[in-house]
Amino acid sequence: MGDEVVESREWYLAGYSTEGVPTSDHLKLRTVSLSLADDSIPDNHLAVETLLLSVDPYLRGRITGTSEGLFISQYQLNQVITVFAVVRVIRSKDSKYSEGDILLNPNAPVAEYSIVPSSQITRKIDTSNGISLSDYLGSLGVPGFAAWVGIEVLADPKPGSNVFISAASGAVGINAGQLAKIRGCRVIGSTGSDDKVKLIKEEFGYDDGFNYNKESDFDAALSKYFPDGIDVYFDNVGGEMLEAVLNHVNKHARIPLCGMISQYNKVWTEREGVRNLLNMVGKQVRMEGFMLESYWHRFGDFAKDMEKYLQEGKVKSKNKINIGIEGFLESLNSLFSSSNIGKVVVQVKA
């Protein structure tokens, strides 16, 4: 591989997108030449090939070009975008890593090949423990950790608590529901199709669920599914559903705000206003937004729990693997449609 130059396809930011779903006006694919020759790789850097890319809703917040909402750092115009990824080492200039090692990079270029500082790597994956590589981006990755922080750290529900999870068949929802069941809660989910309702009940242990597209009146639906009120609402959607929930909360209910997928593609003045926050006073509700950046010190606790649950079959994973880096934009947009189930991963190389 001495003076090897590779053609590497990569996705870059062509323009910010404040409203609607991102299109090929905003994210574009290009091909660059990259030298993987030994003298092209600085000390403490790695040349890697990308195996799997994590596709998550929060990425939408990185291409708005505005400083509100998720308040996360914006991708730079004309630069390659970055995501969580599983990568394999081609050449290493760090003695901790060797050719063939499979690593997690939370800040990996969405590219077929890249040269990255080894300090970015957060984990070397043991491929002998029976856990699939895509699970490191799903139940053991961003969505699983988000589910764990929301349920274990913020909601901390008692056995028997009534737990409601929106976007229940999404990557976060599937994990959150299963973690709440492990806690002994009664868990109800909302999701976007009858098939997905069936799935969360039959495969992921939800006690019940409903298709929000079929409910013209969320209030009535929640009355039906929560005759004893809601103790925990794990909010992945915001907007109208959050408002409806606030009419059904029990005293001291907790609402971890993980994300608001119904609201990401709108400028804030066009978002749905929540009119009944006064209920939070009388019911003494705690609502708390969270981002994983504040919880990395708990990642070890999470990973230990979750690996055990996966190995014991107490948590089942569901990963939708889309083949080919060229489909990254389509995969991202699938998160905002009702079609998505579980964790969306783009497989760049097997």
Handedness of CA 145, 151, 154, 158 (dihedral sign): negative
Assess 214 for contact with a copy of itself (CB under 8 A): no
Write the binding mask 53 to 92 for a copy of itself: x where contact by CB under 8 A, - elsewhere: --------x------xxxxx--------------------
Yes or no: say if 287 and 255 are a contact pair by the CB < 8 Å rule: yes
Binding span for a copy of itself by CB under 8 A among 87-95, 115-123, 130-138, 249-257 = 249-257
Q: Provide the β-strand partners of residue 32.
A: 8
| Residues present in the chain in total | 350
* Amino acid present at 123: R
Instruction: Pick the closer one to a copy of itself by CB: 277 or 323.
Output: 277
Structure tokens at 90: 């081609």
Q: Write the binding mask 159 to 198 for a copy of itself: x where contact by CB under 8 A, - elsewhere.
A: ----------------------------------------
CB contact at 8 A, 26 and 63: yes
Binding mask 254-293 for a copy of itself (x = CB under 8 A): ---xxxx--xx---xxxxxxxxxxxxxxxxxxxxxxxx--
User: Can you tell me which of 27, 116, 199, 242 binds a copy of itself, judged by CB under 8 A?
Assistant: 242
Question: Which among 302, 15, 29, 7 is positioned nearest to 179, based on CA atoms?
Answer: 302
Residues with Cβ < 8 Å from 57, sequence gap 6 or more?
Answer: 259, 261, 264, 335, 336
107 is a site residue for a copy of itself (CB under 8 A): no
Q: Which is nearer to a copy of itself, 104 or 249 (CB)?
A: 249
Residues of this chain that interact with a copy of itself (CB under 8 A) are 61, 68-72, 238, 242-243, 247, 251-252, 257-260, 263-264, 268-291, 294
